Amino acid sequence: MFRLIQRETRASQTLLGVAIGLSQAQVSEILGGSRKVTSIDVLTRIYTGLHMPAEARAALMLGDRSHGIAPTTNSSGDVIATPYSQALVADALAERFADVEAVYPSRSEFTSKMPPHALFDGATEIRAVGLSLNLICQQYADSWLAQLVQDGARLRLLFLDPAGNAIRQREFEEDMTAGTLGALTALNLQGILRVRDRLPAEIRDRIEVATYDQTIRVNITLINESLCIAQQYLPHARGVESPTMVIKKRWPTAGLYHVFERTFDELWSGGQAR
C-alpha cells in the first residue's frame, strides 16, 4: 500500500517521513516490507500531511471521490473499501501483474489449491494442449467428462504424439526409461477416445482430439474463454514439478491470456486429428 501512496503522490521517502512523523529509515522499512502500517490514524496523517487527492485517499480505503464525506465504516469501526477504491487497487495490481491471478511452484501444489473439479465442473468449453493432459485424463473422472459433454460442453484436446520424436526427446530430458511417457500418453489418448465413442453419435463431435509432434514448451488449459492454466516445461524437471500460472482474461486483446490462447490455436492448427 505504501508503494501505491508513493506512486500516487510522487513523494520522496523523506517527505513521507515528515508527513507521518517517521524517519526515512522507518519509511524505507515499510516500503521494503519489514515494517507494516496498520493504524488508520497513521494513514490519515499520510493523506493529510501530503495533501493527497481524493483518488489517492480512495486507494487507501479512507474515502471515495466525494469531497467532505467521511470514510464508510462498519459497526466495529473498520474502514470499508468503496467500489471505486477497490477498482483503483485492482488497476494498480493489474499494472504490476497483468492478468496473472496466481503462481504455484509446482503442478502438485496448484492442484491441491485448485482441484480439477473446481476448474471443470459446469464448464462449457475446454481447450488443452500439452503432453499427456493428466489434469483432464487422470484427475477428472471419465463419467464427469462425459456428463459435461452431454450438458453441452465442447472439448479440444491436443496430445503430444505418443509415437513421435518429440516425446522421446522429452523422455531423455526427464531421464526416464524410453517409452514411459509414450505409454502414458497413449493410455490417456485411448481413454478420451473411449469416452467419445460411448457418447450418442449426434454429440461425439463435441470432443475433438488431435496429436502433434513438436518440442514441448508449455502445457495450456483454457476454460470458458476466460481462464488459462499455463505450465512451462523445464529441462530435467518433470511436468508435475514445474511452476504453474493461473491467468484470468481481463482485456479483449492484451494480456498473457491471449498469448497462450494464440499458442494453443497455432499448435491446434497443425495437429493430426484422431
Largest CA distance in the chain: 74
Burial of 21 (0-12, 13-18, 19+ CB in 10 A): exposed
pTM for this entry: 0.67
- What are the C-alpha distances in Å from 125 to residues 39, 152, 154? 46, 9, 5
**CATH 1.10.260 fits domain 2-96:** yes
Q: What is the Cα gyration radius of the chain?
A: 25
Instruction: Tell me the pLDDT of the chain (274 aa) as tens digits.
Output: 666 666 666 667 676 666 666 677 777 777 777 776 655 556 666 656 566 666 656 655 555 444 444 445 555 555 455 555 455 555 555 556 678 999 999 988 999 999 999 999 999 999 999 999 999 999 999 999 999 999 999 999 999 999 999 999 999 998 889 999 999 999 999 999 999 999 999 999 999 999 999 999 999 999 999 999 999 888 877 878 889 999 999 888 888 999 999 999 999 999 999 9
Amino acid at 172: F
Q: Which CATH number fits domain 100-273: 3.30.870.10, 3.90.25.10, 1.10.132.20, 3.10.20.600?
A: 3.30.870.10
- According to DSSP, residue 273 is labeled E
Can you give the residue ranges of every domain in the chain?
2-96, 100-273
pLDDT for the residue 39:
58
What cell was used for 168?
522421446
Q: Closest Cα to residue 137, out of 204, 82, 220, 193?
A: 193
**Residues 238, 240, 242: CA angle, nearest 5 degrees:** 75
Q: Is 144 left (phi over 0), alpha (psi -120 to 50) or beta?
A: alpha
Burial of 72 (0-12, 13-18, 19+ CB in 10 A): middle
